[in-house]
Structures are given as C-alpha cells and as structure tokens.
Amino acid sequence: MSRLLAALRSPGARRRASAAALCTDARSELLQPCAQAPAAPRAKVSVVGAGAVGMACAVSILLRGLGDELALADLDAARVRAEVLDLQHGAALARLPAVVGAGDLSVTAGSRLVVLSAGARQREGESRLALLQRNVAVFRGLVADAVRLSPACTLLVVSNPVDVLTYAAWRLSGLPPARVLGSGCNLDTARLRFLLGRRLGLHAESCQGWVLGEHGDSSVAVWSGAQAAGQPLAALGGDPARWAQLHRDVVAGAHEVIRGKGYTSWAIGLSVADLAESLLRDLRRVHPVSTLARGLYGVEADVFLSLPCVLGGGGVADLVKIRLSPDERARLRKSADTLWAVQKELRF
C-alpha cells in the first residue's frame, strides 16, 4: 500500500489517476450498464510470434473480420506492446475487435485458434529444414503452455520447417492430430495458381491445382488434377516441361522474395487468414495443409505433410482421397521420406 501511495506522489501518476477518474465519470454519465459481466469472447485468435509473419497473419485475420479478440504474444514485450498500440490506433478505421498483447503467453488464454509463428527465419539461401534445431527448442518452450491456456484450441503452425514443427507441436501438445495442422502447401498452392493464371491470362482464382507434400524443395505439383477456367490442364495440351518449370518457380519463389526483402510475409499472412476463416467459421473448405499422413499414399511413419484437408470448427474434419498418377504418388512418398529422414532424429 505504501508503495502505491509513493507511486501516486509522482506528478505523472497523479495525472494518469485523475484522467482515469474523469473517464470513469464520463462513462457512467454516458452508459447505463446492463450485462453483469462482459461477454466472453466467442472466437479468440492468438498469434504467438509477432514478427514479420505474425503481424502479416494478424492484419490479414483482422481485415477479414475473423474472431472477436486478437491476442499477440512475443518474447519481445516492448515490440508487442508497440504492435498492439499501432493496431489499436486503426480501430476506428477498420472496425477492429479488441486487440491485446503481452510478452508471455498468458494473454492467449481461452483461444479457439492459436497461430504459432515464433522463432528463427531462413537466412538467404538457407533451406527450411536447416532451421529445425533452433525452432524445435522454441516450440519446446511454447506449445505445452499454449495448450494449457487454451485447451479447446486448434494449433496452426507456421514457423519453419513447418511440416516437422507441426509434428513437434502435435507431440508436445498431446492434442489429437485433427487439432494440430501446419500452413504447409496452402501458400505453395496459392503461388502455383498465381503463376498459372499469369501464364494463361486468367485470375489466380480461376486456376485450380494442388501442391502437396513438404512445404519446400520436395513438394509435388499435382498436374493430373489441375484445371484452368474449369478445363483440365491435361486437355489443353502444351509442353509438360513448361508446366514443370512453373512448379520450379513456386519452389524458387520464397527464395526470390527472401533475397529481395530478407523474409516473406504478405502471402503467408493471407494464406493463414484463409485457413483461419475455414476453421473459425466451420466452412468445410478444402485446403492443402500439413496433417498426419500415416497410412495414406504409402506413408508408414508419423510424418506431417500437405494433403487436401476439409477444414471445419474442430480442425481437420476429413482428408480428401485424391487420385494421383503413379509418378505423383512416388514423388509424394519421396517427400515423406525426406521429412522422415530429418524428423526421426528429433528427441522429446
């Protein structure tokens, strides 16, 4: 108590205390309270790791009008405070819900969706898998707490290498596999659709096709099912080698952006908001996201990789059994082997 009194003796504290009293008076003059307690948030979303990617996810989620509270958590408490304030300053301009933040995970309690984007990022020329040891250590310190604070949440992993970290998050969380997914190839697929559209003179939305497997160098473009303007790509003819080049451009795309600006952020932010919408609104849309692939397409180990998944309120509701050509199936298997070779060295 005496410390409180001493603190109130400072002129700054006295000014703040009298401003707060004035606000309380003005509030009671303006509003007649009805509800006993503020309504509990129905769809709280948390983003853990408020760096370039986390903030792109946060802004994309807010601008889609998803969730009724957004929480940001980052080790760097000063930075997260500044990010929260910067967003709050836009509340009147974009009808934003409550945005809160802190330097620890307590602020994420009661979330329906927790996006994990904390950790190190790739350096120029570095593969995603090379990040593994650094980011597994970060996840060891985060995942169990995140789930303890939000036992009903779905975890959406974004940090790289996203597939192996999704496996790590599943193991560390104790959640059923349906409630732990990785953003995986939702981004690679968006890149493919953009490049295909640019080649054909169409908007990306009018081009369909999956990139599956590892989010990274061993990913697989499923040309056998690709379509443009509702037409199977296979029926349009053209040189298959030129389509294959598009997939190489997808794989090179992230490196190209990292060379230019040091990291990628906007497209992954939009991709995560797209996934968040399916999860929070129980839409049952199909997305290629990283999920437990054991028992499918010849994968026998506990490997997480991207397959087309039906996403709803409880996470991954169903897996789509797509027909792959023998070559695509072999490539998917090889992608799983690449991930397993790295993953089997992990110890928990």
Ligand X SMILES: NC(=O)C1=CN([C@@H]2O[C@H](COP(=O)(O)OP(=O)(O)OC[C@H]3O[C@@H](n4cnc5c(N)ncnc54)[C@H](O)[C@@H]3O)[C@@H](O)[C@H]2O)C=CC1
* Chain positions contacting ligand X, by CB under 6 A: 48-54, 73-76, 117-122, 131, 135, 138, 141-142, 158-160, 162, 183, 187, 215, 263-264, 268
Min dist CB 123 to ligand X, Å, is 10
CB of 199 to ligand CC(=O)C(=O)O, least distance (A): 20
Respond yes or no: is residue 287 known to be catalytic.
no
Write down the least CB distance from residue 26 to ligand CC(=O)C(=O)O, Å: 47
Q: Is 187 in the site for ligand CC(=O)C(=O)O (CB under 6 A)?
A: yes
- Looking at beta carbons, which residue is closest to ligand X? 51
Structure tokens at 312: 């709803």
Maximum distance among all alpha carbons in the chain? Answer: 82
CB 93 within 8 A of CB 307: no
Interaction between residue 128 and ligand CC(=O)C(=O)O (CB under 6 A): yes
Of 46, 111, 264, 290, which lies in the binding site for ligand CC(=O)C(=O)O, with binding defined by CB under 6 A? 264
Q: Of the candidates 195, 167, 193, which has an alpha carbon nearest to the alpha carbon of residue 180?
A: 167
175 binds, among ligand CC(=O)C(=O)O, ligand X, none (CB under 5 to 8 A by kind): none
One of 203, 215, 247, 255 is an active-site residue; which one?
Answer: 215
Q: Which residues, including other chains, have CB under 8 Å from residue 274's CB and lie 6 or more apart?
A: 186, 287
Residues 6 or more apart in contact with residue 208 via CB below 8 angstroms:
193, 225, 226, 227, 228
Q: Which residue has the tokens 């329906």?
A: 112
Interaction between residue 193 and ligand CC(=O)C(=O)O (CB under 6 A): no
Classified as helix, coil or strand, 225 is: strand
Q: How are beta strands 220-228 and 207-212 bridged, if at all? A: antiparallel
Paired residues of 73 in beta bridges: 48, 102
- Residues 307, 312, 318, 320: what is their CA dihedral angle, to the nearest 10 degrees? -50
**Binding of residue 158 to ligand CC(=O)C(=O)O (CB under 6 A):** no
Site for ligand CC(=O)C(=O)O (CB under 6 A): which residue of 160, 218, 219, 278? 160
Residue 183 binds which entry of ligand CC(=O)C(=O)O, ligand X, none, CB below 5-8 Å type-dependent: ligand X
If binding is defined by CB under 6 A, does position 290 make contact with ligand CC(=O)C(=O)O? Answer: no
Structure tokens at 40: 């509990």
Phi, psi of 182 (to 5 degrees): -115, 150
Q: Which residues are catalytic?
A: 215
